[in-house]
Each structure stands twice: as C-alpha cells, then as structure tokens.
Structure 1
Amino acid sequence: MTKLSFLDLVPVTETGTIAQSLANAADLACHAEELGYARYWVAEHHGMAGIASAATSVVLAHLGHATKTIRIGSAGIMLPNHAPMVIAEQFGTLEALFPGRIDLGLGRAPGSDQRVARALRRTLASDERQFPQDVLELQAFLAGDEQLGITAVPGAGTHIPLWILGSSTFGAQLAAMLGLPYAFASHFAPDALDEALDIYRRQFKPSAQLAEPYVAAAFNSFAADTREEAELLASSQQQAFVALRTGNPGKMQPPLEGYKNSLPPNARAILDHVLQCSAVGTADDIAAGLKAFVARTGVDEVIIASSMYDHDARKHSLALTMEAGRAL
C-alpha cells in the first residue's frame, strides 16, 4: 500500500482565530493518527493572515503533545531564513520531546515575499544560492561533527531524517546528490513533477540515511458524501489560490456555491492548471484520482493537502480519503 500523509497549512478562517486554528490542527493531527496517516507535516509561511504555522517548530511541539505515534515534521523549514545551527537546536529539542517521530523537510523559498524575507533575516546575504551548503551544515550539526568546532545542544547526534522539498528540478538534483528523500509540491506547482521525479531517481546516490530513492508528492483531496458537497467545500481553497495568484491573499473564505463557474475563463484556466493534481468528490472519486496519480508518478507516499473552511467537514474528508487510499 502506498503511504498517505497529510500537509496542514493551519488555515485561519474569516470568522476564526489563530488560537482556534491551532486547536483545530491538534485535533486534526489526532484524527489523522487514528486513521493511519504516516506523518503530519506543517509548512513555514510568513506574513500571511490565512496561515498560522509561521513558527513551525512551536506548532510541531503543540502537535507532538496532542499525539502519540504519528510522525510530525516540516514541509518545510525555509532554510535560507535561518541559521542551520538554530534549526538543529529547534529540531533537536523536538526529537528529545518526541523521540523517533520527527521529520525535517527543507525548502529554499522564503515562504513569503522579499520584504518579509528581509524582516526575517535583517539582511538578504543568506539566500537560496547557499541552500546546498546550508543543508550540509545542518547535517553536520545534527551528526555532531567535531570539525564544526561548536556543538548544537540539543541537536548533535540526533540524525533527524532530512527531506528535500521542491517544485522544480533543482531540489530533485540536490536530494539525489545527497541521498535524501524527496517531496514534490505538486498540490500547487505541478509543472515540473514528472521531470523532477525522473531526475531524482536517475541521479540518486545512496547515503547513510537512505539506500534507495524515496519519493513523496502532494495531492489535493476534497472528499464528501456527495460530489456536490465536495465541490462546495473545495471552493474555499479555490478562492485562496485565486487570491494568492492575484496578489490579494487573506483569511480562508466560506464556501461559495458555483464559485469556479463564476470565474472568467482565464482565471478558471489558471485554477484548473494549478490544481491539476487534485480529486474532488466521493470516496470513489478520490480513489480513482489517487490511483491515477500513483500510476503516473510511482511515488512511495502521497502527501494529502485539503484545506477546508469547516473543521468537521475537513475531518470527514480525511477519513474518506484514507478509505480511498487503502486500495492503493
């Protein structure tokens, strides 16, 4: 069976609060654990009113205390925003709190725009071009490499599993070179999916962490008891994507009946393209979508993304998606 995992952006709804979003994330993580999802990841985004996971390691501690067995991790930590030693200390602390359950997924995007990147870093001297070197430095801190001349405490000796995340061929090449697992962000940036996975598999070099290529890719699932209800629930995420692409991101909006069909043709085409790795409908519809996605990509793991306005509906969608995934 292909593993299913879950990616949560910890959405903040138009009528909700950040405290409620964080409480929902903990409840959803418990639900995912009970359903049998392999891991629960949260992502680093900054300066966005509709996303509550900016302090990613803090959110992971919150989720860890709420759960018992499910792996928790980042998808990802945007490493150019941070000194590698700081991330080694943060995730070393998480590993001490929740041993054997921590994943550290790494990305090279800022997680926002350049203004926010400057506010985070104070200087843009650290940028994506240093990403490969930053990954190696982080690996050295987690390994307790004495050549660094300094020890990350906590962190040293933990050997927390690293993942490289990406939406282009760059991350695929880096993950292959370092012998790390690779996760592709096909839930919102599907263009280079097939090429990136091919490059990763062909160029992969075994490492101490991983003997053979291991690939995960993200897939949007909006499941409900009827196709009509699923289409309605999916409209909140559709609104969010359109708002982001038009430079007007905000809190998650309530579902709108007929939203997609109300868009002008160019906006509808953009939405269809961005969300091409998606399934909307009943458990049977999700099963068909997942089966086709796995047949296309051959991934070892599918990372489910599913942001919805209503928390209970989102929990039900997770359950129907896992039901659909059992046939993989």
Structure 2
Amino acid sequence: MHVVVCLKQVPDSSEMRINPKTGTLVRQGVTSIINPYDVHALEAALQIKDQLGGEVTVVSMGPPFFEQSLKEAVAVGADRTVLVSDRAMAGADTFATSRVLAEAIRRIEQEFGPVDLICCGRQTIDGDTGQVGPGIAARLDVPVLTYVIRIREVDPKGRTIVVERKVEGGRQVVRSTLPALLTVEKELNELRYASLPGMLRAARHKPIVWNRETLGLERTEVGLLGSPTIVAKSFTPPEKKRETVMIDGSDPQRAALELADRLLAHPTFRKAVVAARRSAAMAAAMAGGSGEAGSSRGR
C-alpha cells in the first residue's frame, strides 16, 4: 500500500491576524503548528502501513520553513516527504491549493509508483473550509470519503476500503473502491510518539522540494493569480480587555458582600438581572390571566 498524506503547517489560532490589504493570514512571526486534523490523517496512514506494509509519503505546500513539520512526520514513521514551495503560490485559496496538491500527487505517482490511498485532515484550523480534500479528489477523479471516524477494512487485493463516517444524527458505513481520498476526524485514532531512531532519522532527513515549474503549472494557476475567491472585507477582531480584581478573603462575610456589590454593579450582570425580572413578571402575568379566565368559566 502506498498512502499519501496531505499535511499543512498552520499558525497557532491564538496568534492569528489578518492582513487588511490582502485579506490573507499573517504568518510571519507567528508560531506555527501542524494542523491538528492532519496529524490524525498521518496516524491513519502509519497504522495501515503497520498492518499491511507499504510506504507513506507526506506532501505539503508552503514556504521553506514547513520543512520542520515534515521532519516531525518522518520522526513518527513517514518514509518520504515532498515540499511544494514557490513564492508564486503565496495567497492561494482552496481552489488553487487543491490544484497544486493534485499535481504533486500525480508527480509522486510518476516517481514513486501508484498511490492507493490519500489521507487528509477534515479541515485546517486557519481556513476551516474543509474544501481542499474534496477538491483534490475531484481533480484526481477518485472517490472521496469525508468525516471518517473509523477505518474498518482495507483490502489491497480486492481494491476496496470500508470506513465509518460521521453524519448528522449518527454514523454511516461506506465501502469504496481504491484509490480513494479520506478526510478524517480527530476521534479516528490515538497519536503515537516519535521513537529515538525516528527522531535521529528525522534530524538527517531532507525533504524533496518541488516548485511551480516542477509540476508544470503556470503562474496564473497558482497563488493569488490562480485563486477565484474574492475577499470583500477582512478584519482582525479587537483584543478583549480583561481585568482581574483580587478580593481579600481574610473575612469571608465581608468578601462575599464585596463580591456581590461588584457583580451587581457590573453592566452585564445588571442586564441579566433586568432580563430575568422581566421574564418573571411576564410569567406571573400569564399565570394570573389564566387563573382569572378559569374563575370566570367556573362562575
């Protein structure tokens, strides 16, 4: 089995900012992590390799510093990694990204043999669209199984895979032919830790690096030029101001009274109290009206 995993390095969500001019995320100077869903896609591929043999190829599109994430993939068991990196690819939307990754997977097949399965995370935490995986599947003309929470069976000889996928109100069991593409949920598996030999191998690892020309793509097909998405407006939410107030607890009764006074003086709490009083008054009025109606009917 040859499994390809699509992996992305994303900015830490707590540090995300948007460039107001381009409408894209600011990545410079922001702490990056491997997309949380993608690591479960990698684990799924590694478990298939453990059970059936074969190899795992990890592919990522991004700037040169993405190499660190690829090294982490090697540390836990990936056989090879491919980084597609080109300045022209900056600012790509999901349409352009899926095009680049689909072409990279075609190139992987040419150089390393047929791909049996493609594993992607459900979505990335920086975009939250969940569109890239299905976009890759559409371009490669392979079945796509989304929201996968369990892989029941993989049959390399019969060229089939059986999975459970999350649907509204329950689960759905689906059998598909191979090759296929999965987008997986975090609950699919438990992540493994890197071994010492794996970490040593990762330290020496150099990913294969391809660019736009390697994949035979035009400038107008990648990055902002190849992205039909139009950002009408973007903004960075204002920072929330928080104030911590310490209350002396040496006298519990006095501390309780001070806390009550502060809560009652807070605008949000006052609004909640007013709303509660209005609800109580309306309920009392309705109850009183029902009682009067009942009395008149009785008379």
How high is the TM-score relative to the length of structure 1?
A: 0.29
Structure with bigger helix share is: 1
Structure with the greater alpha carbon radius of gyration? 2
Structure with bigger strand share is: 2
Q: Which has the higher contact order (CA 8 A, sep 6+)?
A: 2
How high is the TM-score relative to the length of structure 2?
A: 0.32
